[in-house]
Structure 1
Amino acid sequence: MALPMIHQHSTPESSLIPLLRSHLPYSGPLLRRFQHHVLYPAKTASILATFPATSSLSTPSAPWLAAYVDLHSGGTQIWIYSSVEAGVSSPTLQAQSLQSPGAYQRSKLNLDRATEAQVQAQLLSLCQYIDTHLLPSYVSSLPATAKEEQTSTPSPSGNTLKKLPSVPANAFLIGSLHTGLDDLLSAAIAEPGKLPPHLPRIHCPPRDAAVCMKYLFRQTPPPSASGNPGAALPPGYRFHDRIRRGGVQPYQLDLVISRTHIPRTKHALSKLESVALYYGGGDDSSNVMADHTHSTNADEMPIGWVFLNPDGSLCSLHVEEEHRGRGLAAFLAREVMKIGMGEGGTFASGISGGEGEGKDEGWAFADVEVNNTASHKVMGKMGGVPGWTVRWVAVGVVKD
């Protein structure tokens, strides 16, 4: 028996994006990752699926799997979607939305044994493909880049959070993985003797990644980016610095990295859409610029920030402790989603749709650790709906 075939897709906009749009919202993170790639292609990225690239009118046989892989990207290296996620995930979206945050259930896939074996084989085949065809070139590139990727930067204030361990060079990090698919990988590790001999054996380097709830935000109609972006903010807060620059500035990234336990690099963060929030300086008027023409970087640091990941999810949403309790996290999140999903944004073309593609209703996402009660409350205030649970999993292929 042969491994399931893995195929390259050079034009996901015709072969995969229409298919993933029909599986929304479940396919949303991978759909957004493909849309981002179409606008900002990475030479080191691979678009993969268990079926060949054909006309978008041709529907592959279920179950099927698609993936975005860029081992060089820094942070999350792989996004995966399996067609079984849309139909057999439990609890359902409706049932999950009725649970209180402390009672969220780990999402599972209710599959018959034959389908379960097929999906597991597809996952393992993808791991084998990555290990054989993509990992060697990545490992050979590490001497020039490993220093930045592995070094944590202390906070300007001297405080440093303990980071999750980095992924070993002989493994890869799968992000936003449905916990039902994670269960299939875990079963392959726990009982390798039960796998058919033609399937690869895998291992998971220790990482202790938490289970997260994926929240869904439906942006219909698409948000408008027009008008004064800070008009609804409480007095004294603004979405630009004293010289009216928006977004997180390069010199502020050390502070951002120090406030999260998730390993991130300045290079990776600098490529993302971002919003920074400042306090002080009076109202949000053009006069704020007058006395600060020669201000330096040290003059002002943000008191809150957020980034938008290439998969349409919120990243590193943070408000400094002394400014919490004022609803500022919700302002930040809405603003960055407006930038990404609104007119002219990275994902705007996906919301409006193309010829024959329909509309995807502007889904955006956020991943919150299940035990982070404060963040669950913020998601609820923003109108986020709990969807399903996910994990970030490091995987390596066992060598013979």
Structure 2
Amino acid sequence: MAPIIETFPPSAIPAHLLTRLTSHLPFSIAVLRRLQVASLKKGGSTPTSHILYVHSDGSSHAAADDSSPFAAAYVDLSRGPETECWIYSSLQDSVPLNPVPTSSEALPPADLSRDERDACVQQLLVLLRRIRGLEASYASAHHGEEGLNKGHSRGYVRIGALHETVRRLLVAAGVRVKATGVVPVGQEWEFYATWLIRVEDLRVENEVELPGGMGWDVLREGDTGLVKSRTKIPKRDDTMLMVPSTVIRGEDGTAIAWGYLGVDGSVSTLHVEEPYRGRGLAKALTGRLLRERLRELGDDGWCSTDISTTNLQSQGVFKSIGGKPAWTVSW
């Protein structure tokens, strides 16, 4: 049965798609949160945003418990140099959780028959063809911007939190995948582990008393330069100021620790300035961020973060609050 693809603007995300993605939590969390940010946050989407939904014939308004495969994506090519696209395929649910995701080779295979897997791959290819068309149209309409020249397509789209099983199946199907510029020199690829935790399971006190002179706040315009200077990952000021954030400030008002929920709902850019480390501030900040700000996006209680498999410090923070690695992704 040939896949059917539908396209929606953020102002008209169909309720049945949100319901279906919610029924596939936690596997669908990145795409679901990106759609929630697009529909709930001012500035969460732009006129160039697209929601894509690929399904089999007759399942457009399928019930949440429908077992037929489907795929969904959020695309906004105006968001460079940040992530422009998130993709989810229901085949991700069939990949056993991997408590120690360290590389592609260690990834368990999808628990699907060959026909079921091939059907999912065909849906993903239909999705990517539509995305390729969107990218070409965007290039034509915005030539001269973001490195686009004379309307020629860049030929790529920045995809975030791509499940490693999906990436490997797409590569096997002939899709060209290139690493981003943040992959360390001499390294072919950089893997991240998606860590999961539920708000109700957080191992952090509800109210954490900060050391004297420190106080809670949110990210403000004067903080964005400092935040960007502490990470190699490209960040936009408008994104940081739009999403839910939490900041700890020192006596002089300077931000000394911060983190926010990215446009895909994941804990992003968690950082504590060097002189203030070792005091439990990262743990306290993460707990407050998730307990108080996550509800602005959804009330299902699922939290996530993507941590490089070589970032032992951040892994330690999320393990200490009750988080567990679940699957491998790349950006």
Change (3 A) 1:268 1:169: farther
Shift of 1:82: 1.1
Structure 1 residues 185 and 249: CA distance shift in structure 2, 3 A:
same
TM-score after normalising by structure 1:
0.69
Corresponding position of 2:266: 313
Could you tell me how far apart the structure 1 residues matched to 2:223 and 2:17 are?
37
Q: Judging changes above 3 Å, is the alpha-carbon distance between structure 1 residues 366 and 16 closer, same or farther for their aligned structure 2 residues?
A: same
For the Cα contact (< 8 Å) 1:308–1:314, is it kept in 2?
yes
3-state SS of 1:131 partner: helix
- Tell me, yes or no, if the aligned pair for 1:73 and 1:268 is still in contact at 8 Å: no
Match of 2:84 in 1: 77
| Percent of pairs with identical residues | 30
TM-score, normalised with respect to structure 2:
0.82
**Cα distance, 1:302 vs. partner?**
1.0
Q: Distance in 1 between matches of 2:328 and 2:108?
A: 5
**1:326 counterpart SS class:** coil
Residue 204 in structure 1 maps to residue 189 in structure 2: no
**2:219 alignment partner in structure 1:** 248
Kept in 2: contact 1:36–1:310 (CA 8 A): yes
Q: Distance in 2 between matches of 1:119 and 1:338?
A: 35
Residue 129 of structure 2 aligns to a residue in which SS? helix
Does residue 169 (structure 1) correspond to residue 142 (structure 2)? The answer is no
CA distance in structure 1 between the aligned counterparts of 2:77 and 2:68, rounded to whole angstroms: 27
Q: Confirm or deny that 1:49 pairs with 2:53.
A: yes
| Match 2:73 to one of 67, 71, 81 | 67
Question: Which one has the largest radius of gyration?
Answer: 1
Give the counterpart of 2:244 among 273, 276, 279: 273
Tell me how large the CA RMSD over aligned residues is. Answer: 3.0
Counterpart Cα distance in 2 of 1:3 and 1:331: 50
Extract unaligned runs of 5+ from structure 1: 150-167, 190-201, 223-228, 240-245, 282-299, 352-359, 393-400
1:15 touches 1:53 (CA, 8 Å); kept in 2?
A: no
Mapping 1:1-400, distance limit 5 Å: 4-9=3-8, 11-40=12-41, 41-51=45-55, 54-55=60-61, 57=63, 62-74=68-80, 75-86=82-93, 88-90=94-96, 92=97, 96=99, 99=100, 105-138=106-139, 140-141=141-142, 143-144=144-145, 146=146, 169-189=154-174, 202-207=175-180, 208=183, 209-220=189-200, 231-239=208-216, 246-280=217-251, 300-342=253-295, 346-347=296-297, 350-351=298-299, 360=300, 362-392=301-331
Q: Secondary structure at the match of 1:46?
A: strand
Instruction: Judge which range, 209-218 or 115-124, deviates more.
Output: 115-124
Q: In the TM superposition, what is the alpha-carbon distance from 1:113 to its structure 2 partner?
A: 2.2
Shift of the 384–369 alpha-carbon distance from structure 1 to 2, 3 Å rule, reads: same
Structure 2 residues not aligned, in runs of 5+: 184-188
Aligned residues: 308
Distance 1:139 1:386, change over 3 A: farther
